[in-house]
Amino acid sequence: MASERIQKVMAQQGVCSRRAAEQLIEQGRVKVNGHPVSLGDKMDPARDVLSVDGQRVYVPRRTEKYYYMLNKPRGYITTTSDERGRKTVMELMEDVPARVYPVGRLDKDSEGLLLFTNDGDFANLLTHPSHGVSKLYRVTVRPHATEEQIIALTDGVVLDDGTKTLPAVIHVVTDEPERTVLEMTIREGKNRQIRRMCEAVGLDVIRLKRSALGAVRLGMLQPGQYRELTSGEVNALRAAAQKGKVTAQIARNTQANAAKKLMRPHGVRAPKGAVAARRRQREK
């Protein structure tokens, strides 16, 4: 929050008018964080404590951070509001003591683990496409999934927009003549990615449920119910996202170095003095 003139804060808090506040400041009766202030000084309402004649008249309200998981049922859309009057996941979070919002999304016909928070940094960390927190889904497809289709999904497939997915980890849970139940783990978050991956190999998803995000699992939480994450779960998610961030940076650096080598003609030495210059730079 930006700094504001002290007399303005005093007036906003109903202590007195701005003119009266200026007089109190000139009389040396106003302090911020225990230190006397002068006319024209500013304070940060997000951090500073304001007192008059030794009595606190303004204490910053710390916004407590909340972290929840919801077992989203089918039929709800992942948005805070909908002009078409459809059911939203926020209707299931009305009893939460703070205004939270969903982290990522699950489409209307999907179900399972969905996170909510009022911590913007945490949400951005988890949803950044390069951080790669693993997501585990239980996917029922039809018709029967062949070995070739499962291998293709594991290796990565080209989606309808021309992009190719990263490799996935797939386990067959149930294999029947008319359907197959798979557990799929991916590290991306493309729009409707699991459904589009299956469509790319000729499979139709008839049920899709997210079971885990990183080390956080849905467990026995019933559809429509939510619970607060433990501090250990929040820390585990942060750690997974930070690890993915570092891994992605290493991969980008490796790709950049490989590209530089390709651009240099075979057998051509680096310019005179360039090697020594790079050595000096590394030693700094």
Residues identified as active-site: 107
The structure tokens 């006397």 sit at: 36
Q: How far apart are CA 201 and CA 132, in angstroms?
A: 23
CB atoms within 10 A of CB 163: 12
Sort strands 111-117 and 204-213 into parallel, antiparallel or unpaired.
Answer: parallel
Sort strands 204-213 and 55-58 into parallel, antiparallel or unpaired.
Answer: unpaired
Q: How far apart are CA 139 and CA 193, in angstroms?
A: 12
Residues 102 and 50: beta-carbon distance below 8 Å: no
Closest by alpha carbon to 214, among 139, 113, 135, 115?
Answer: 135
